[in-house]
Amino acid sequence: MRRILFVCTGNLCRSPMAAVMLQARLARDPRRRDWEAASAGLWTEEGLPASPPAVEVMAERGYCLDHHRSRPVTRELVEEADLVLGMTPHHVEALRLAFPHLADRIYLLAEMVGGSYGVEDPYGRPIGVYRAVADELERLIEEGYGRIVSLAERRGRPRGESSL
């Protein structure tokens, strides 16, 4: 099994939205159905629900965020991830500074399609901004899917496989 970790600021909007989208995409891929997409936030507290507009926008698209609870980024989460995808260059920089020994697995989500920009934070904004962010996340995940799985697979053996 491989694990891909999405990281944003509060783990209330972008990263949980991206994680459920990627999890659904992985479920359609027979070779990667056992992979896991997860999310965390750089500046959050444990146990907060996803923002109500994020829940609503994702439900409109057939995804469920009802059971999401925020969690902060930890060393353990980053170490367990085969690939870490930050929503903005600031997130990537903060992650690489905090975990320099893991910098080779930390990327900007937009890099998966050759971009270098951040995904806008919709928190506290009108629902139309959430819809635009969901559109962008869907595009990045769908168009970047090949690169996402390639980078996650690059880490070597799946967890649980012995080198002996």
**Does the active-site annotation cover 121?**
yes
**Does the active-site annotation cover 14?**
yes
Q: Give the chain's end-to-end CA distance (angstroms, integer).
A: 18
Q: pLDDT digit string (tens) for 62-73? A: 999 999 999 999
Asked whether the predicted pLDDT for residue 108 surpasses 70, the reply is yes
The residues that bridge with 86 in the sheet, in sequence order, are: 7, 108
Confidence at residue 155, expressed as pLDDT on a 0 to 100 scale:
76
Asked whether the predicted pLDDT for residue 104 surpasses 60, the reply is yes
- 2, 8, 13, 25: the catalytic one is 8
Confidence at residue 161, expressed as pLDDT on a 0 to 100 scale:
40
Angle between helices 127-153 and 14-27 (to 10 degrees): 50
Question: Which residue ranges form the domains of the chain, and what is each CATH number?
Answer: 3-152 (3.40.50.2300)
**Does the active-site annotation cover 104?**
no
User: How many whole angstroms separate alpha carbon 149 and alpha carbon 156?
Assistant: 12
Q: pLDDT digit string (tens) for 113-128? A: 999 999 999 999 999 9
pTM beyond 0.85, yes or no = yes
